[in-house]
Amino acid sequence: MTGVSSRPTVISSSRTLRSRSFPVWVSDLAGHRKRLQDAWSDQTIHEAFRSPAGAEVAASRGQCGVSSAWLVETLASNHVRGLTYCYGDVFSVAGPESVELARHCWVEVAQGHDRLVIDLTGDQSEVLGLPEVLYGWHDELRTGRCVDYRPHTRLTPLQLQYDLVQPRLGILRKNLTTER
């Protein structure tokens, strides 16, 4: 993906295996993505994902950790329960299983035995063809979109306060409050 679109693409899983509805606040995710992409900068990119000048990469490249940390903080302040900041790999399960997006971050919200996956930077992998904003029940994403989010690490909102993402999150918060 090249450039930055003005309207985030949002896709939820469309297959319904059980009667499950999404929380009302998911309707805010596209707006959150728009605000975040307007606040992303070279200082908020994870240093391992910085690209040379002129390289054609998704605007969200390297922004998954800071964006997910911001979303956890935002949802927690709105009393959303069961939040975890996840770090791991995204697999394609359409054929032979393969890691298509390594070292990625996203948010999960536990609801009973279900987990709602929220990825504000899903457009980082052209192979997966994910939208800018993706949310859906983990099992439905796996069967309907053939995508499997597998965390290596899960952090609660309290644990996240001590994570290495915090300096970049501070810069992102500042960028969100200043005219750019």
Residue-by-residue pLDDT tens, the chain, 180 positions: 333 334 444 554 444 444 589 999 999 999 999 999 999 998 899 776 666 666 665 667 789 999 999 999 999 999 999 999 999 999 999 888 889 899 999 999 998 889 999 999 988 887 677 788 999 999 999 999 899 999 999 999 999 999 999 999 999 999 999 865
Per the CB < 8 A criterion, the answer to whether 15 and 140 are in contact is yes
* 133-137 vs 10-12, strand pairing mode: parallel
Place of tokens 């994570």: 163
Q: Give the H or E element holding residue 150.
A: strand 147-155
Taking the C-alpha atoms of residue 157 and residue 17, their distance in angstroms, rounded to an integer, is 30
- pTM attached to this predicted model: 0.85
Q: Give the H or E element holding residue 169.
A: helix 166-177
